[in-house]
């Protein structure tokens, strides 16, 4: 949208957004004046070997062993390349080998996600991943093919707009229900691209539990992105009131 000229076609001074989140009671707000969410990056390493029958491994080059080795080594990459004072993670979440139990495939792959709060940290992790993949591929006699996709940068609020948004929140629900210093989370959000193009603020609104129960966890907040999630309609008028009041106050500024 930004590349297609969104802000040229529809000029605006600032951008604001909300996301429902498990931060306690219905209508609680959470925000901060800086990085609120991490960058989202996906990676995959495909190891190319030479397939053969599993009963004759000496006649082929096994890429499955290489991706297993790589997955284990990557679990310790972050503390090797990121200072302990920073937050970052690399998660190994996918692995694929042969489609049959008696076949060593020509190739296998392992993949996952990387979350950081700075471009420098993302660079360091990507460079380390490529270096380790190449080394393990060489040790196993394979060829490594690395893909690293940077989907969204960190969500970084602008201080002026964040303070403005927090004041509006307090007017809507009261000071005791607004956390203006909420710690950054490792989730990601593509609204980050808009915050790079225009000043603004991204914030969370509490979803509560809506009277529902999470499977095997008893009553509690509706955790997003899980099979038990049920959007709580009670937050709709609160969120709508926030946006109406925000627009009114912003347009009333001198």
Q: How far apart are CA 26 and CA 206, in angstroms?
A: 5
| C-beta of residue 232 within 8 angstroms of C-beta of residue 2 | no
pLDDT at residue number 24: 78
Domains within the chain, CATH numbers bracketed: 6-38+154-251 (3.40.630.10), 40-152 (3.30.70.360)
Q: How far apart are CA 139 and CA 172, in angstroms?
A: 61
Residues 6 or more apart from 218 whose CB is under 8 A from it?
none
| C-beta of residue 105 within 8 angstroms of C-beta of residue 98 | yes
**Which residues does residue 114 pair with via DSSP β-bridges, in sequence order?**
41, 90
Q: Would you tell me how many other CB atoms lie within 10 Å of the CB of residue 189? A: 20
- Tens digit of pLDDT per residue, the chain (254 long)? 999 999 999 999 999 999 998 887 888 999 999 999 999 999 999 999 999 999 999 999 999 999 999 999 999 999 999 999 999 999 999 999 999 999 999 999 999 999 999 999 999 999 999 999 999 999 999 999 999 999 999 999 999 999 999 999 999 999 999 999 999 999 999 999 999 999 999 999 998 865 555 555 554 546 677 777 778 889 999 999 999 999 999 999 87
pLDDT at residue number 201: 98
Percent helix, strand, coil in the chain, to 5, is 35, 30, 35
Residues 6 or more apart from 140 whose CB is under 8 A from it?
47, 49, 61, 62, 63, 65, 66, 69
């Amino acid at each position: 949208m930004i590349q297609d000229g969104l802000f040229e076609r529809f000029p605006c001074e600032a951008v604001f957004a909300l996301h429902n989140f498990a931060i306690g009671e219905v209508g609680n707000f959470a925000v901060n004046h800086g990085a609120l969410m991490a960058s989202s990056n996906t990676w995959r390493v495909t190891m190319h070997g030479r397939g053969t029958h599993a009963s004759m491994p000496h006649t082929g080059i096994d890429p499955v062993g290489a991706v297993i080795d790589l997955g284990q080594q990557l679990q310790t990459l972050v503390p090797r390349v990121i200072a302990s004072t920073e937050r970052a993670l690399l998660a190994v979440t996918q692995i694929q080998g042969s489609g049959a139990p008696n076949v060593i495939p020509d190739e296998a792959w392992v993949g996952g996600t990387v979350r950081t709060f700075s471009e420098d940290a993302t660079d360091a992790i990507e460079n380390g991943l490529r270096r380790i993949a190449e080394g393990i591929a060489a040790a196993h006699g394979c060829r490594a093919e690395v893909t690293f996709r940077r989907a969204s940068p960190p969500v970084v609020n602008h201080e002026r707009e964040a303070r403005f948004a927090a004041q509006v929140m307090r007017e809507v629900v009261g000071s005791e229900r607004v956390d203006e210093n909420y710690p950054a989370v490792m989730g990601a959000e593509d609204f980050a691209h808009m915050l790079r193009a225009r000043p603004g603020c991204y914030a969370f609104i509490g979803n509560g539990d809506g009277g529902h129960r999470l499977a095997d966890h008893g009553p509690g907040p509706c955790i997003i992105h899980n099979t038990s999630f049920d959007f709580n309609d009670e937050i709709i008028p609160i969120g709508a009131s926030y946006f109406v009041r925000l627009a009114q106050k912003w347009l009333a500024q001198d």
